[in-house]
Amino acid sequence: MDIEKTLLPGVLLIKPKVFADDRGFFYENYQAQRYKEAGIDLEFCQDNHSRSSKGVLRGLHYQKPNEQGKLVVVLQGDIFDVAVDIRPDSPTYKQWVGVTLTGENHHQLYIPPGFAHGFCVLSDTADFYYKCTAPYSPKDDKGIRFDDPEIQVQWPLECTPVLSPKDEQLPLLCEVDPSDLPTMEQA
């Protein structure tokens, strides 16, 4: 597998080796030792799978406490996946990276604990699969608005995104109590 560092320290684009022929393809989605050697030395404890329609935008989500690292991949369809550094004590605070993940390219994105995460669906539907380093905790579930003007994520959407009622009501980053944001030490 090839590992590419992004502009945000710890956020990694992973390109697994895919073996394809006229019958289909095979690739190793996860192998603990290889990921440990790549610097992803956290234990994953929960896997999630979601399906969304074109124009759906989920995020920007994070947990505090019980911060989650995520290893994300698209099984079918195309998404634009985003990680945002929301740690006020980080030199890359408020910066973001975005990558296109597809069921065809099999690329993965690793988002370490302490980052907000979101994605939008570019294809008619997309199946999104991700491993988490901490279990989902409803009481610790937090988020910031996808269109926060301080962050300025450039979402590649052709129309107004479809949001959940929860995501429609997320605060701007400047409205979040600093104690509700992760720090470099905690993450």
CA nearest to 147, candidates 171, 182, 114, 124: 171
Q: Tell me if 176 sits within 8 A of 84, measured CB to CB.
A: no
Per the structure block, which two tokens stand in for 155? Answer: 């979402």
The pair phi, psi for residue 44, each rounded to 5°, is -90, 135
Residues tagged active-site: 61, 130
Burial (CB count within 10 angstroms: exposed 0-12, middle 13-18, buried 19+), residue 184: middle
Per the structure block, which two tokens stand in for 147? Answer: 């269109």
Degrees, nearest 5: CA angle 127-128-133: 155
Helix, strand, coil fractions of the chain, as percent rounded to 5:
10, 40, 50
| 25 φ/ψ sector (left φ>0, alpha ψ -120 to 50, else beta) | beta
